[in-house]
């Protein structure tokens, strides 16, 4: 169905290990603005290169797919579009609005997993004005590994984006992977930084390399250690920490949102 609507999912694009579980539950994370990224993060399976022209009909197709799937929590992510003046913020906002309108009186909750828009305040404001229920932006790895793993990004800039979401009354969420050379102490510091930036939800998962062309896995972290990360995160002030080997940014995102709802 996704393919017949000419859509992409990050599930397939990033070779997510949970795809079969999520697809069998009728949920997926839509990848908008094409499947070519202007960046080249070392861990990522999405092709770097010259992106396609933005497709103005895409928001409508995402809405059609979400309604057909009967999604109650719609997750939308994208490649990074540094080639666009607003980094694609307008297209993101349009997709959020069109999806919400397509549901009529019973709109779903919407979560966006956004790029850093190179720190642009107006771009972030454009997304904030569309009022998605959750705004996710991953820091991915501790700052000492950025040059190797996430060279076109900036750790402080990503924290600042999350801080601005919280200051604007949004629900900020972030996540990182382990197994790329970081230490547990570095993970603990990142979780504290996220809490300090006002982040409310965090995910921690095991990095697995999509191909032999990607960095090798430096370590497989034991599930007990993932539980320890969750404890550290909550101690630091994060309300919800989803931490386990197969956890990914939008894994069980709907359940997390419901849980937050129950907590009021």
The piece of 36-44, 86-94, 188-196, 241-249 that touches ligand SF4 (CB under 6 A) is 36-44
Question: Can you tell me which residue has the tokens 């795809």?
Answer: 19
* Cβ 140 to ligand SF4 shortest distance, Å: 7
Q: Which of 37, 110, 190, 230 binds ligand SF4 (CB under 6 A)?
A: 37
What does DSSP assign to residue 133? S
- Using the minimum distance from each CB to ligand SF4, give the nearer residue, 37 or 62: 37
Return the SS3 of 113.
Answer: strand
What does the chain come to in residues?
264
Sign, CA dihedral 251-253-258-262, equals positive
The residue among 144, 245, 137, 149 whose CA lies nearest residue 200 is: 137
Quick check: helix, strand or coil at residue 236? helix
What's the token pair of residue 118?
């190179």
Residues 2, 65, 79, 99: which binds ligand SF4 (CB under 6 A)?
Answer: 79
Report the interhelical angle of 58-69 vs 89-102 (nearest 10°): 40
In contact, 10 and 77? CB cutoff 8 Å: yes
**What's the token pair of residue 137?**
């932006």
Stretch of 39-47, 57-65, 177-185, 242-250 contacting ligand SF4, by CB under 6 A: 39-47
Instruction: Please state the closest distance from residue 222 (CB atom) to ligand SF4, in A.
Output: 26
Minimal distance in Å, beta carbon 255 to ligand SF4?
24
Q: How far is the CB of 70 from ligand SF4 (least distance, A)?
A: 27
CB of 95 to ligand SF4, least distance (A): 16
CB of 82 to ligand SF4, least distance (A): 9
For ligand SF4, give the closer residue by CB, 32 or 236: 32
Q: Which of 16, 22, 32, 44 binds ligand SF4 (CB under 6 A)?
A: 44
**Which of 2, 11, 41, 130 forms a contact with ligand SF4 (CB under 6 A)?**
41
Question: Are 74 and 109 within 8 A, CB to CB?
Answer: yes
98 binds ligand SF4 (CB under 6 A): no
If one asks whether residue 40 binds ligand SF4 (CB under 6 A), the answer comes out as yes
The position carrying tokens 């003046």 is: 85
Residue 46 interacts with ligand SF4 (CB under 6 A): yes or no: yes
The reply on whether position 63 binds ligand SF4 by CB under 6 A is no
Q: Which is nearer to ligand SF4, 9 or 100 (CB)?
A: 9
Q: Judged by CB under 6 A, which stretch of 37-45, 121-129, 200-208, 214-222 contacts ligand SF4?
A: 37-45
Q: Could you tell me the smallest distance in angstroms from the CB atom of residue 196 to ligand SF4?
A: 23
What lies within 8 Å, CB to CB, of 19 at 6+ separation is 11, 12
Q: Which residues bind ligand SF4 (CB under 6 A)?
A: 37, 39-41, 44, 46, 79-80, 115
């Amino acid at each position: 169905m996704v393919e017949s609507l000419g859509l992409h999912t990050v599930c397939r694009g990033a070779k997510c290990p949970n795809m079969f579980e999520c697809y069998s539950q009728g949920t997926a994370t839509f990848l908008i603005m094409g499947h070519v990224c202007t960046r080249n993060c070392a861990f990522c399976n999405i092709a770097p290169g010259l992106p396609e022209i933005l497709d103005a009909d895409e928001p409508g197709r995402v809405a059609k797919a979400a309604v057909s799937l009967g999604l109650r929590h719609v997750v939308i992510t994208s490649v990074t579009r540094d080639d666009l003046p607003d980094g694609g913020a307008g297209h993101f906002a349009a997709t959020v609005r069109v999806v919400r309108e397509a549901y009529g009186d019973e709109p779903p909750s919407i979560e966006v997993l956004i790029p850093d828009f190179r720190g642009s305040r107006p771009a972030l404001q454009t997304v904030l004005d569309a009022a998605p229920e959750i705004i996710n932006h991953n820091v991915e790895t501790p700052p000492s590994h950025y040059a190797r793993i996430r060279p076109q990004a900036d750790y402080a800039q990503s924290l600042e984006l999350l801080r601005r979401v919280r200051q604007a009354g949004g629900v900020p969420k972030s996540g990182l992977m382990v197994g790329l050379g970081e230490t547990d102490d570095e993970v603990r510091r990142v979780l504290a930084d996220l809490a300090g930036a006002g982040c409310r939800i965090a995910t921690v998962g095991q990095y697995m390399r999509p191909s032999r062309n990607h960095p090798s896995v430096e370590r497989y972290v034991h599930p007990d250690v993932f539980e320890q990360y969750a404890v550290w995160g909550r101690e630091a002030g994060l309300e919800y920490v989803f931490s386990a080997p197969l956890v990914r940014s939008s894994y069980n995102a709907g359940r997390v949102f419901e849980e937050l709802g129950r907590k009021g």
